[in-house]
Amino acid sequence: MTTPPHGEGTPNGHSEPRSGRWSDLGRPPLNAAGLRRGLVREGGLWRRVDVVQRTGSTNSDLVARAAEGDLAEGVVLVAEEQSAARGRLDRQWTAPARSGLFFSVLLRPAEVPVTRWGWLPLLTGVAVATGLSRVAGVDTALKWPNDLLVTVGDEERKAGGILAERAGNDGVVIGVGINVSLRADELPVPRAGSLALAGAANTDRDPLLRGVLRSLEDWYGRWREAGGDPAASGLQETYAAGCATLGRMVRAELPGDRSLVGEAVAVDGDGRLVLATEAGVQEPVGAGDIVHLRLA
């Protein structure tokens, strides 16, 4: 599959859909030139913003580009549509063109010990939730480790996800997918949601993306200046305050077909979820699928 050259678009900077620019008036294309003007600045984190009409996976593309040469930190790759988007555990999902925000960023946190890089997906979750709250006016919550939740009616639903992948020895590519205007009849599964279904005051993807990336720049800067210390940067406390998993009974589905049930009581200094089990012990979970069972 081929994709348009990076940055290709119409004279006004919009990425041109193959089926016609105004084929869905409720889902206009992103304004690539406007995004660059609003995000790329001297001394800032974001150095380049590329918008492509369609690709398999922005994460895969950016990891490959980073491997090909000396790609600078702060490159952002946005797709109007993804045909092979991936989540954790290689789960795949699709969404209609221009119905969400699908993007990846390249970070090179040289000042931070690699042992603390595991906080990057959690940091991104905090940044995304903060940015969306400010711009969309919708309450969001975080499900450990990488899901964004919204409330539709009286139901808690997943509206976004985050995937971090190493890019060489000194880089990390972080991918974000957010359902923005997805309608009820377009949901891939009944438990999915979108900003629109959650009653967002703003579903214009241009300001939403700018708000999320500015929030990510802010949180990444704080964390990097603190040497990746989650407590000193305020990240650990902020994540815990917005984490819907804490205080609930959960089931952790672990590698090796094991599972663990307990109350999620904390996120420790390594970003692991700490479960208080019926055996009276506290066990940290660093990787696995978390299923919310009920409020504790």
Instruction: Tell me what the mean pLDDT of segment 118-141 comes to.
Output: 97
The pLDDT of residue 93 is 58
Q: What is the pLDDT of residues 135-187, one digit of tens each?
A: 999 999 999 999 999 999 999 999 999 999 999 989 999 999 999 999 999 99
* Count of beta carbons in the 10 Å neighbourhood of residue 286: 13
Token output for 233:
């940067």
Instruction: Tell me what the mean pLDDT of segment 39-57 comes to.
Output: 97
Q: Where in the chain is the domain with CATH 3.30.930.10?
A: 32-241
pLDDT band at 217 (very low <50, low <70, confident <90, very high): very high
Q: By percentage, how much of the chain surpasses pLDDT 90?
A: 81
pLDDT band at 224 (very low <50, low <70, confident <90, very high): very high
CATH class name, domain 32-241: alpha beta
113, 228 in Cβ contact below 8 A? yes
Q: Where in the chain is the domain with CATH 2.30.30.100?
A: 246-292
**Count of residues in the chain:** 296
The domain defined by 246-292 folds into SH3 type barrels. (2.30.30)
pLDDT band at 256 (very low <50, low <70, confident <90, very high): confident
Q: Report the predicted TM-score, pTM, of the whole model to 2 decimal places.
A: 0.89
The pLDDT of residue 90 is 53
Whether the pLDDT of residue 91 is over 90: the answer is no
Q: What is the pLDDT of residues 75-90, one digit of tens each?
A: 999 999 998 655 544 5
